[in-house]
Structure 1
Amino acid sequence: MRVSLGLSSVLLLPVLAAAAPPPPKNFYHPGDLIGVTCLNRTIDNGEHVADSNGHLQYIPFPPPPLSCSDERGSPATLRLPFLSESLLNCTIPALTDELYHLLEFYVHADSPLSCRIPRRPPGGERDLLPSSSSSGGEEWIPLVISLSGKFERSHLHISNHINLIVHISPDELDTTNSASNPGMVIDSAAAYSVSPLSPSAQTKIIPGDPLPLLFTLRCRLAPPLPKRRGADTDMGTRDGGVRGWTCHDSYGGLLSAELSRYGGRVYGVFPRVGVSKKVEEVWV
C-alpha cells in the first residue's frame, strides 16, 4: 500500500507542476510598445482598400515597403512606448510617388490619415500586435493624425512636428488590483500638426526627399483634461504612502509621469522631461 501511495504521489507531481498558469492581465505595462496601423488607401482617389473578406485593410505606418529609419539606417515602424513622454523621430528616408500623392490627400483632409491602436494588449501582457489586419474581435482605439501643410504645383510643405496625446483609463476588466492601483488601458488618442501656418515649422518635400516626422508623445488620464494651468491629475492613495498613478501637466515644459508602484509591481520612477526634450529613437 505504501508503494502504491508513493507511485500515486509521484504521478501527481507532473500534474501539479503543469497546473494552468494564471490568466493574463490584458493591460499595458510601462514601456510596452504599441503598434500604429493606418487605413490602406489608393493613390487614385484616396479611397480605402478592403481585404479579401471585405474588411478595411490596416497596414503599419509608414506603409510598406517604406519604413522609419534612424541614423544607423535601421528600418522600423512607428510604435508608441506606453507611459512615456518622448519625442519620437520617425524619418522616412525617401518618399515614393505613391506616398507623396497620399500626403496630398492627407494635407487637404480629403482622405484623412486614419489610424488605430489596440486598447489593450491583444494576446496577453507582451503580445501587443495582432497577426491580422482585420479586427479579429480586438478592441481598437481610433487615432486620426491631422497633418497640416501647403500644396504647391511642384512641391509640398508639411508641418512635420506633431503632437500626439494618448488618454488612459483604468481597465474595467481588471479585478485583481485595488482601486488605487488598477491596470491601465488606452481610452482615446489624437494627433495633429503644430504651428500649421508657420513657414519655419514646415518642411518642403518632393518625391524622393526624406521626410522627418517628429511626434511629441504625452499621456493623460481620461476624462477630463486639467482645468487650470499647471494642474495635476492624480489617482492614488495619499495617506498610505503608495502612489498609484500620477500624470503631471505643467506649461513650463516640465512634464513627467512618475510611478513608484503600479498594480502591486514596482517599476521605479520615470525620468522627468525638461524644456530641452531628449529625442528618443524608438525602434524594434
Structure 2
Amino acid sequence: MARPTSPLRLALFALYSFYLSLAHAVSSSDAQKPSSEGRGYSLGEPIPVSCLNRTVETGEHITDASGALQYIPFPVCAETSRPLELAFGIESSLNCTIPYISDPFFHLLEFYIHNDAPLTCRIPSKPLPPSVLEQDFRSADETTQEGALGTQSSLYTPLVVALAGTLQLSHLHVGNDLNLLVHARPKSEGPGIVDAATAYSIASHARNARVTIGDELSLHFSVRWYPSTTLPPGWSGYGGHVYKSTFLYCLLSAGASAAICVAYFRGVELPRRLKRYATDRVGRGGGYGLPVANGMSNGYGGYGYGIGTGKKD
C-alpha cells in the first residue's frame, strides 16, 4: 500500500517547481540579450579623435554616394606617431605637433580660422563594438569613417574645435594654445561614458604660431574633465568681494604694523620721554604744580606762559 503524501510535502514540492521555472525564465531572458551592451571607458583608456573630411576648394563636407558624412582621423602627432587621442578622466597638458603643413591642409586651416567651415570632430561616447570598428575603418590605405548626419547617433560625441587666428597674404597666425573640456556622464548614471566635449583657442596674440606651407604646427591642449554636464562655479568678478587670501593678508599686515609700533614706542619713544621728563624735573627745579624758589607756583615748573616770577623785595 502506497504511503500517503502529506500536504506540507506537496507545498514544498510546488514551491521548488516554481523556483526552477523562474530561474529558467531569467536565464533564457539573459541569453536573449546581447553579450555586451557596451561598456564604459576605464580610467586612462585612449579615446580616438576623428574629424569631418572637407574639400580643399570650398570647405564643404565630403559624403559618399548614400549621403553619409566621412570622418578621417585627426592628423598624426609627432609625439606619439598616432592621431590625437584623449585619455579618459586624465587631466593633462597634451601636445600634438603636426610635422608638416601640406598645401591642402594649409587651405583648410584658412577655412577654420576664417570660420568659413568649423573644425568639426567627434569622439566615441564609449568604446566602440568590433562591428562598428570593422565598418568604419575599411583598410590601412583608406582610413575613412562614415557616419550619419551629425555624429552617427549616440555612438559619438561632437567635439567642435574653435580655432582662432589671423589670415595674412603669405602665412597664417594660428591660436595653438587650446582649452579642451570633456564632460563625463555621472558615475551613478553611466560610468565611463562621455556626454559632451568642446575645444577652443585661447585668443591671445602672444600665443599664436606663425605657419606657412611646409612648416610644422604644434598644438597645445589643456585638457580638463568634469564628472557631470554642469560646470562648477568659478567666476567671482573683478573686485567688490573679500577673498580669504585678501583677508589673511590684511590681518598679517595689521599684526606686523602693530608689532612695529609697539617695538618703536617701547624701544625709542618711551625712553626718550622718560629722559626728557627726568631732565625737566632736575633742571627746572620742580615738577608739575610744585613751588619754585621764589615761593610761587605757576603749574609748569616756574616758567608758565603769561605768568611772571613775581617781584622781589
CA distance in 2 between counterparts of 1:52 and 1:22 reads 33
Partner of 1:170, secondary structure, is coil
Alpha-carbon shift at residue 101 of structure 1 (Å): 0.4
CA distance in 2 between counterparts of 1:128 and 1:205 reads 37
Residue in 1 that maps onto 2:46: 33
Question: Does residue 168 of the first structure (1) align with residue 184 of the second (2)?
Answer: yes
Over 3 Å counting, the alpha-carbon distance change for 1:24 and 1:223 in structure 2 is closer
Residue 200 (structure 2) aligned to one of 192, 197, 203? 192
Residue 142 (structure 1) aligned to one of 126, 143, 158? 158
Alpha-carbon shift at residue 131 of structure 1 (Å): 4.3
Deviation string, structure 1 residues 111-153 (Cα, Å, up to 9, x no partner): 00001111111218xx995641123765211110000001000
Residue in 2 that maps onto 1:117: 123
Residues 122 and 138, structure 1, Cα contact 8 Å, conserved in 2: no
Q: Which amino acid aligns with 2:196?
A: S
Deviation string, structure 1 residues 179-200 (Cα, Å, up to 9, x no partner): 4x95231110000001x2x321
Residue in 1 that maps onto 2:307: none
CA distance in 2 between counterparts of 1:86 and 1:224 reads 20
CA distance in 1 between counterparts of 2:71 and 2:167 reads 26
Determine what percentage of the aligned residue pairs are the same residue.
Answer: 42
CA distance in 2 between counterparts of 1:90 and 1:32 reads 18
Q: TM-score, normalised by structure 1?
A: 0.62
Residue in 1 that maps onto 2:23: none
CA distance in 1 between counterparts of 2:67 and 2:35 reads 37
Alpha-carbon shift at residue 46 of structure 1 (Å): 0.3
Q: Which amino acid aligns with 1:188?
A: A
CA distance in 1 between counterparts of 2:91 and 2:133 reads 21
Over 3 Å counting, the alpha-carbon distance change for 1:199 and 1:228 in structure 2 is closer
Deviation string, structure 1 residues 180-231 (Cα, Å, up to 9, x no partner): x95231110000001x2x321001000000000111111012231112469x
Residues 35 and 129, structure 1, Cα contact 8 Å, conserved in 2: no
Residue in 2 that maps onto 1:45: 58
Residue in 1 that maps onto 2:209: 203
Question: Does residue 69 of the first structure (1) align with residue 75 of the second (2)?
Answer: no
CA distance in 2 between counterparts of 1:61 and 1:162 reads 15
How much is the aligned-residue C-alpha RMSD, in angstroms?
A: 2.6
Over 3 Å counting, the alpha-carbon distance change for 1:31 and 1:129 in structure 2 is farther
Q: Which amino acid aligns with 1:185?
A: I
Residue in 2 that maps onto 1:82: 88
Over 3 Å counting, the alpha-carbon distance change for 1:227 and 1:42 in structure 2 is same
Partner of 1:34, secondary structure, is strand
CA distance in 1 between counterparts of 2:159 and 2:114 reads 18
Alpha-carbon shift at residue 41 of structure 1 (Å): 0.4
Residues 50 and 56, structure 1, Cα contact 8 Å, conserved in 2: yes
Residue in 2 that maps onto 1:242: none
| Structure ID, larger Rg | 2
CA distance in 1 between counterparts of 2:201 and 2:134 reads 28
Q: Which amino acid aligns with 1:189?
A: A
Moved more, 162-171 or 78-87: 162-171
CA distance in 2 between counterparts of 1:49 and 1:43 reads 10
Q: Which structure has the higher relative contact order (CA within 8 Å, separation 6+)? A: 1
Q: After TM superposition, list the pairs within 5 Å mapping 1:119-268 onto structure 2.
A: 119-123=125-129, 131-132=135-136, 133-135=145-147, 139-170=155-186, 179=188, 183-194=191-202, 196=203, 198-228=204-234
Partner of 2:198, secondary structure, is strand
Question: Number of residues paired by the alignment?
Answer: 193
Over 3 Å counting, the alpha-carbon distance change for 1:129 and 1:145 in structure 2 is farther
CA distance in 2 between counterparts of 1:167 and 1:151 reads 32
Residues 68 and 146, structure 2, Cα contact 8 Å, conserved in 1: yes
Greater percentage in helix:
2
Task: Point out where structure 2 has 5 or more consecutive residues left out of the alignment.
Answer: 1-30, 137-144, 237-313
Residues 106 and 147, structure 1, Cα contact 8 Å, conserved in 2: yes
Residue in 2 that maps onto 1:108: 114
Residues 34 and 117, structure 1, Cα contact 8 Å, conserved in 2: yes
Over 3 Å counting, the alpha-carbon distance change for 1:228 and 1:130 in structure 2 is farther
Residues 35 and 128, structure 1, Cα contact 8 Å, conserved in 2: no
Over 3 Å counting, the alpha-carbon distance change for 1:27 and 1:227 in structure 2 is same
